[in-house]
Structure 1
Amino acid sequence: MNVFGFAGWSGAGKTTLVEKLIPLFTRRGLSVSVIKHAHHGFDLDKPGKDSWRHRKAGATQVLMLSNDRWVLMHELRGAPEPTLEEQLRVLQPTDLVLIEGYKAAAVPKIEVHRAVNGKPLLYPDNPHIVAVASDVPLPDSPLPRLDLDDTPAVAAFILDYLECR
């Protein structure tokens, strides 16, 4: 599977960019999966729902399904967080896996940078960043600078980059 990531500070627009890229890739006939890493706890369940009640009762895994979708929730219950490599093995084969987060993972990634956040660029300290998608020019950057609002150009860069590898 081809794996490509996105890194950046909170509020930079990573999720929005990934959301806009997915239909561009699927229109080309590619199957796309996404792995999103959160640095804080999250919950897909609603308190009181059956799956929530099963997890709260102590189940390690709860698989819910319907004729529209299925989801497998796995409670770590103190176990270490799985690595990106372990998570990739869980996915069904797909043409392209987009990774949001996992800043230090050894996968090629685009840094998403929005000047208004006032945060420093990540690429100088991250050898896996191969380009920066930004809303401002970056005259001193040795990396390609992509316009954050030109999603087709970002998609083309990713496909070109992966083709060259």
Structure 2
Amino acid sequence: MYVIAITGRKKSGKTTLIEEIVRRLSPQIRIAVIKHIHYGGIEFDTKGTDTWRIKHAGAPVVVGVAPDAFFLNASINKQSLELALNIIKIVNPEIKLILLEGFYSQIKEQKNIKRIIVARSIEEINELINGKNKPLAIFCPNCIDKEINKIPIYNNINDIIIKIEKLVKGEGQ
């Protein structure tokens, strides 16, 4: 099972990228999504919310994690990425890919979790590239550069999805 964190600034396109990954890859790869939510009092699985959008894109398991709630068709008062990962493994052991939306500070030093940065500019990439967890790739639709610090930059959504698919199927790095 692969765990890939999709990180980036607010409104950078993280949810849109995840929706497209799920839409395109879920017919052949079992995918779960865990979304990091920074604030409490949120309604999960409400029409138009990120968790609703991802679920309706085709993810069989969607987990939302916030300071005061945990969404997996139930709510609890605990924020824990490790707990969410373990629940997914128990609930659906056939999951081959877990996509994390956010969790930047929790995963930036973890080398066992692959990371894709979503950015709108080279300046944004430079702000997000730090930590021991070198990104697997960068998705920046507005960037002209093809790499930065030996990390590939993709500006086409199809190319980044192909990279993820090859990785999960054992054909990529």
Structures share a fold, TM > 0.5?
A: yes
The residue type paired with residue 73 of structure 2 is: V
Q: Deviations over 1:128-152 (max 9, x none)?
A: 41211102123644210111xx222
Residue of structure 1 in register with 2:154 after alignment: 146
Would you say the 8 A contact 2:25–2:165 is kept in 1?
Answer: no
Question: CA offset at residue 4 of structure 1?
Answer: 1.1
Would you say the 8 A contact 1:24–1:152 is kept in 2?
Answer: no
User: Given the two structures, how large is their TM-score scaled by the length of structure 1?
Assistant: 0.70
Where 1:136 maps in the other structure, the secondary structure is coil
Query: Of the two, which has the highest radius of gyration?
Result: 1
* Matched residues, number: 137
Question: CA offset at residue 74 of structure 1?
Answer: 1.2
Identity between Structure 1 and Structure 2 (%)? 23
> Could you tell me how far apart the structure 2 residues matched to 1:32 and 1:45 are?
18
Q: Deviations over 1:20-58 (max 9, x none)?
A: 11111113x111110000112222288xxxxxxxxxxxx
Unaligned runs of 5+ in 1: 47-59, 64-69
Q: Could you say if the C-alpha distance between residues 127 and 43 of structure 1 is closer, same or farther in structure 2, counting changes exceeding 3 Å?
A: same
Unaligned runs of 5+ in 2: 47-67
Runs of 4 or more above 6 Å deviation: 60-63
The residue type paired with residue 18 of structure 2 is: V
Residue of structure 1 in register with 2:56 after alignment: none
Residue of structure 2 in register with 1:136 after alignment: 143
> Could you tell me how far apart the structure 1 residues matched to 2:4 and 2:165 are?
10
> Could you tell me how far apart the structure 2 residues matched to 1:133 and 1:111 are?
6
Q: Which structure is higher in RCO with an 8 Å CA cutoff and minimum separation 6? A: 1
Residue of structure 1 in register with 2:10 after alignment: 10
Residue of structure 2 in register with 1:72 after alignment: 74
